[in-house]
Structure 1
Amino acid sequence: MHANVTAALERAALHRTRFDSRFEQYFDGLGERFDVPVPSRYVPRCLELLREFSMRGGKRLRVVLLYEAARLVTTDEVPGLAEAALSIELLQTHGLVHDDIIDDAPLRRGGPSTYYAYRREFPDHGATALGLAILAGDLAAFLSTQVLLEAEAPAELRQALLAVHTRTAAETVAGQLADLERDSHALPDEEFLHTVTDFKSARYSILAPLTMGLLAAGGDPAPHRARLHRYARLVGIGEQMRDDFLDLFGPFGDDPADEAKSTGADIRSGRRTYAVRALLAAATGAEAALVEAALGDPDCPQATLGRIREIARGAGVDRRLKAEIRRYAEEASAEAASWGPYWREEAVEFFRSLPLWHVARMS
């Protein structure tokens, strides 16, 4: 592995470790900054579930991007950066809690979704479980803005970070609305899928951390918004295609994280993802009828899912998706390579290499 890539991966691991420790500290001290109604049991339980869910973590991609974006400008410690990381991950918690309600998803990050945790606790009171899960997601969203307002940073910076944060949150909700609209189309246009990915995922997972990291480090992201957005959109589309591939076909590399991906959820939920769209466009006759019958069937048997995968492979859907994932990764890498005149070379190399890491694992 190239020395620059090795160093970048080591920095990413350090960012994740440091952040998880800081996240624990945040939840430990939350009671000092947040008035809990006494003698309420529901509020402490909500905070407990949010903590447990948030600390399951994942790849912490947004945190890594945030810290590496600051390195585009400086390697010094940056005031406000830790709070920006907390805010973006709390916003992620909010989004996932609500996503799992919309998708009726029992599992998330190897454990129960917040919604299903409440459903187990209130098996005979579905409305209560639903209401508590909605409010848990809402609370995470409000906490994500509060942490920025309380950051130990200049007031002007706090305001700038909050402006990015709230704009991103609104765009993400708009993306979620468009995501539900996507599934109302028999065969959504690919450009519509790109727009959904841009708003629902790329802007808050990639563009917002890049923008907030630059702001915290004293950079001015405004003149660079177009190039940052191009990069975020390309990476976001490639990563969404990768997730859709994993759900239909299963792991294609040696990344242990891929092993945790369940397959068939998109078919059972009737989602018109990149992979499902490609499959619908390629299948004909009885095979198309089989796919259409399975879409949206929550009880679709494993044998049928296996047959659908065979149909997809036979039609070359897996090969085309891999080629598209590779193309978007290479275009994103080329976009980052053009950043050289503006920012530190070492940090630019990180963003140039990032989209290619997963592609290198594809067989």
Structure 2
Amino acid sequence: MHETTVAAAGARERIAAHRRRFDPLFAAYFDRLAAAPGPFTAGRFPARCVELLRDQSLRGGKRLRVALLHEAARLVTDAEVPGLDEAALSVELLHTHGLVHDDIVDDAPLRRGAPSVYYAYRAEFPGQERTAVGLAVLAGDLAAFLSVQVLLEAPLPDGLRLALAQEQTRASAETVLGQFLDLERDVPPLPGDDFLHTVTEFKSARYSILAPLRLGLLAAGEDPEPYAGELRRYAVLVGIYEQMRDDYLDLFGDPAVTGKPVGTDLRDGRRTYAVNALLAGVDGADRKRVESALGDPGCDDATIAEIGALARRAGVDERLRATMLRYAREASDEAAGWRPRWREEAVSFFSALPLWSVRRTF
């Protein structure tokens, strides 16, 4: 237990160190965009788009993708690896793209404790919904294209530059397919866990975990293809418990900590891991209460609090925590199997990360 705690503390410190190094780099990237002559200074709308993308991109976030990218390279070498900065910018720009479009689809007013890009445009163009939607869609599109451009313009050998761009382009396309599956999930009937796992893999695990792993290995000179199966297994297991964590916090979290109100998934009719567990864990009048709230945008805070309380009485919170911990342990074991091949320091990071990540939720 002591060794596990020490390893988890080390993983936490390394994630924080990667974030401290990356955030100024990310800010400088947006500053260069805003200052360079050309399309971003050609009019008010392009310039404002860069401002909003910059604000949302720099407003919080653990930078877990950045840490995964750098630690993946450290699996191979502890030397400085050219191209990691550009790859880090790419994965975070793609993440910004996903957040912007998610908030349009979900009609989400807040992101990381402040207005989403979509709602910022709504405030700037009151009564002009088409303009606000159009600008928000374009902002998300721009972030996605920039995520590929930053790799194609990286000062790297042509073959490596192309390989990194191909990896990220594939992850981008898979993420959009995941968005389709995400919307399909919320159309009756209630999905099973297998479908939820598929949604999680394509919507988040492939771009948030698998792509940084593969990009880091590629940059360090290691072909990830011979290890594709085990890398994917690790990514999916991490993706599942991370998505469960998000779903758990939407029902049981503290808005002062998460920066988002609770009960959003219920009001929006989203068939998440937590909602599935809730419906499976209650019956009779309690189940009818949950079903009446599911998909009701007018469901008030008191009803959400009541549903959260009945979920706790039914032990739904405990079951979700136990399930998250099980997936985290499986992910940890998967990474531990990399020891014969790759550097111990980085393998320890990937093995410790899942258990630290889950336990900080509770």
TM-score range, shorter chain: over 0.9
Q: Deviations over 1:23-63 (max 9, x none)?
A: 11111212466722765211111111111111113111100
Give distance in 2, aligned partners of 1:64 and 1:212.
12
Give distance in 2, aligned partners of 1:313 and 1:212.
41
SS of the aligned residue for 1:200 comes to: helix
Question: Does residue 208 of the first structure (1) align with residue 211 of the second (2)?
Answer: yes
SS of the aligned residue for 2:62 comes to: coil
Q: Deviations over 1:259-294 (max 9, x none)?
A: 435311111111000010111122222222211111
Alignment of 1:149-168 (within 5 A): 149-168=152-171
Deviation at 1:328, TM superposition (A): 0.2
- TM-aligned CA distance change 1:101 to 1:305, over 3 Å: same
Partner in structure 1 of residue 31 of structure 2: 28
Partner in structure 1 of residue 15 of structure 2: 12
Deviates most, 292-301 or 62-71: 292-301
Q: Deviations over 1:126-173 (max 9, x none)?
A: 101110110111111111111001111111111111111010011111
Partner in structure 1 of residue 247 of structure 2: 244
Amino acid at match of 1:231: Y
Kindly indicate whether the alpha-carbon contact (under 8 Å) linking 1:81 and 1:216 is maintained by their aligned counterparts in 2. Answer: yes
Partner in structure 2 of residue 322 of structure 1: 321
Kindly indicate whether the alpha-carbon contact (under 8 Å) linking 2:26 and 2:58 is maintained by their aligned counterparts in 1. Answer: yes
- TM-aligned CA distance change 1:54 to 1:13, over 3 Å: same
State the TM-score, normalized to the length of structure 2.
0.95
Alignment of 1:245-284 (within 5 A): 245-250=248-253, 258-284=257-283
Partner in structure 1 of residue 201 of structure 2: 198
Kindly indicate whether the alpha-carbon contact (under 8 Å) linking 2:34 and 2:50 is maintained by their aligned counterparts in 1. Answer: no
Amino acid at match of 1:287: D
Give distance in 1, aligned partners of 2:54 and 2:155.
23
Amino acid at match of 1:272: R
Amino acid at match of 1:51: R
Amino acid at match of 2:213: L
Partner in structure 2 of residue 358 of structure 1: 357
Amino acid at match of 2:164: L
Kindly indicate whether the alpha-carbon contact (under 8 Å) linking 1:246 and 1:258 is maintained by their aligned counterparts in 2. Answer: no
The gaps in structure 2 that reach 5 residues or longer are none
Give distance in 1, aligned partners of 2:48 and 2:318.
46
Deviates most, 178-187 or 24-33: 24-33
Give distance in 2, aligned partners of 1:38 and 1:220.
40
Amino acid at match of 1:286: A
Amino acid at match of 1:122: F
Question: Does residue 340 of the first structure (1) align with residue 339 of the second (2)?
Answer: yes
Kindly indicate whether the alpha-carbon contact (under 8 Å) linking 1:246 and 1:261 is maintained by their aligned counterparts in 2. Answer: no
Q: Could you tell me the percent identity over the aligned residues?
A: 64
Kindly indicate whether the alpha-carbon contact (under 8 Å) linking 1:187 and 1:280 is maintained by their aligned counterparts in 2. Answer: no
Partner in structure 2 of residue 103 of structure 1: 106
Deviation at 1:122, TM superposition (A): 0.3
Deviation at 1:7, TM superposition (A): 3.4
Partner in structure 1 of residue 286 of structure 2: 287
Kindly indicate whether the alpha-carbon contact (under 8 Å) linking 1:106 and 1:113 is maintained by their aligned counterparts in 2. Answer: yes
Kindly indicate whether the alpha-carbon contact (under 8 Å) linking 1:250 and 1:263 is maintained by their aligned counterparts in 2. Answer: yes
Partner in structure 2 of residue 90 of structure 1: 93
Give distance in 2, aligned partners of 1:202 and 1:25.
28
1:113 to 113, 116, 122: 116
Partner in structure 2 of residue 79 of structure 1: 82
Partner in structure 2 of residue 220 of structure 1: 223
State the TM-score, normalized to the length of structure 1.
0.95
Give distance in 2, aligned partners of 1:349 and 1:258.
29
Give distance in 1, aligned partners of 2:174 and 2:329.
26
Deviation at 1:190, TM superposition (A): 0.7
Give distance in 2, aligned partners of 1:18 and 1:237.
28
SS of the aligned residue for 2:108 comes to: coil
Deviates most, 91-100 or 301-310: 301-310
Deviation at 1:311, TM superposition (A): 2.1
Amino acid at match of 2:199: V
Aligned length: 359
Partner in structure 1 of residue 302 of structure 2: 303
